[in-house]
Amino acid sequence: MMHCILEIEALGKTYKNVHALQDIQLSIAAGDIAAVIGKNGAGKTTLFKCVTEQVFPTSGTIRLYGKSDAAGIRRQRSKIGAMIEEPAFFPDFTARQNLEYFRQQRGIAGKEAVDRALKDVNLLDTGSKKFKDFSLGMKQRLGLALALMSHPALLILDEPTNGLDPEGKAEIRELLKTLNVEKKVTILISSHVLSELQSVATRYIFMDRGRIVEQLTAEELLNKTRKAVELVVDDSGRAATVLEQHFPDIPYRILPGNRIRLSGGTDRTEALNRTLYSCGVGVRSIAVTGEDLEEYYLGLLGGERHA
Ligand code: ATP
């Protein structure tokens, strides 16, 4: 069994009357790249801040490396590197000067920690370039270097690809894979766009309105999204009624252009065709496809999915 490094039980956080987190159950094993996916306001940042003790939960338990008492957790927290809000770097400092400042401020031993972290994020060669002249991607990577400087076993990153261009996003993904494989860093990362983390995550945690709505391994997500039937009909409303009556076990989503995507039923296309036709629905085409992952996610998080 994989070694569990973070376990969260029945975690809740309420701000006045906003339930930012409700009944969160989660466990992260060593070696995971766990992606928390949710729209703005889903509770991702609050969850990460609870783990790093930047906010205090209203209820529930957080266990780090098996420790849930305050003193034990505090000791284990040194194993976490986090990038939750943009670090306040000095605009006129270079990458190295900025990291050296934070190394001293945080009491991280050994000057070599700075160069090691810069090397990890491919920023060793930025020389005298000042932070204010960095691209957004470089700024994000410097934030990552700061989180890595204390040599963490668990890295917590809140939307590190936000605002980056496709090249910058790809760079961060590659970096995370390398850290995970070569340095054995476990990663907990969030995004509001599933596709941004699709190729790197080993697990997906879908959040909506403060709750976890589904957790899947990368393999489970792939399997789920492989099995779709796409129909083009003359009247998607009528087709939906027929599907609910005759195929209540197959979840579906209505898409624009009288298209309907069924998550399942790939072995029943003939029956689907026949039944729809006999109930007066014109079927223009029926095809087995892979479900679009982004659509799957939108369906989970408050789309028109029938489940
Ligand atoms: P985003 O991507 O926009 O940061 P998120 O998924 O990280 O979204 P959170 O920032 O955790 O979501 O917010 C969850 C909910 O808690 C939201 O409704 C938000 O308005 C509320 N919230 C967060 N911080 C506070 C606070 N300090 N005071 C009051 N409400 C808050």
Q: Which numbered atom of ligand 1 lies nearest the CA of 46? A: 11
Name which residue leads in pLDDT, 221 or 186: 186
Confidence at residue 47, expressed as pLDDT on a 0 to 100 scale: 97
pLDDT level of residue 87 (50, 70, 90 thresholds): confident
Mean pLDDT of all residues in 83-110: 92
Determine the residue of 11, 24, 39, 44 to mutate for testing ligand 1's pocket, defined as the one with the most ligand atoms within 8 A of the Cβ atom: 44
Mean pLDDT of all residues in 230-242: 95
Question: Which stretches within the chain are classed as H helix?
Answer: 44-51, 70-77, 95-106, 112-120, 136-148, 166-182, 194-197, 218-226, 236-246, 269-278, 293-300
CATH superfamily of 4-222: P-loop containing nucleotide triphosphate hydrolases (3.40.50.300)
Please indicate whether residue 41, judged by its CB atom, sits closer than 6 Å to ligand 1.
yes
Q: Whose CA is nearest to atom 30 of ligand 1?
A: 15
Confidence at residue 116, expressed as pLDDT on a 0 to 100 scale: 92
Matching fold, domains 4-222 and 225-306: no
Answer whether CATH 3.30.70.100 is correct for domain 225-306: yes
What is the residue extent of each domain of the chain?
A: 4-222, 225-306
Q: How far is the CA of 46 from the centre of ligand 1 (A)?
A: 6
The model carries a pTM of 0.79
CA distance 207 to 192: 10
Q: What percent of the chain has pLDDT over 70?
A: 97
Mean pLDDT of all residues in 155-161: 93
3-state SS, residue 157: strand
Residues in the chain: 307
pLDDT level of residue 291 (50, 70, 90 thresholds): low
Angle among Cα 26, 228, 279 to the nearest 5 degrees reads: 125
Determine the residue of 13, 14, 15, 22 to mutate for testing ligand 1's pocket, defined as the one with the most ligand atoms within 8 A of the Cβ atom: 15
Please indicate whether residue 87, judged by its CB atom, sits closer than 6 Å to ligand 1.
no
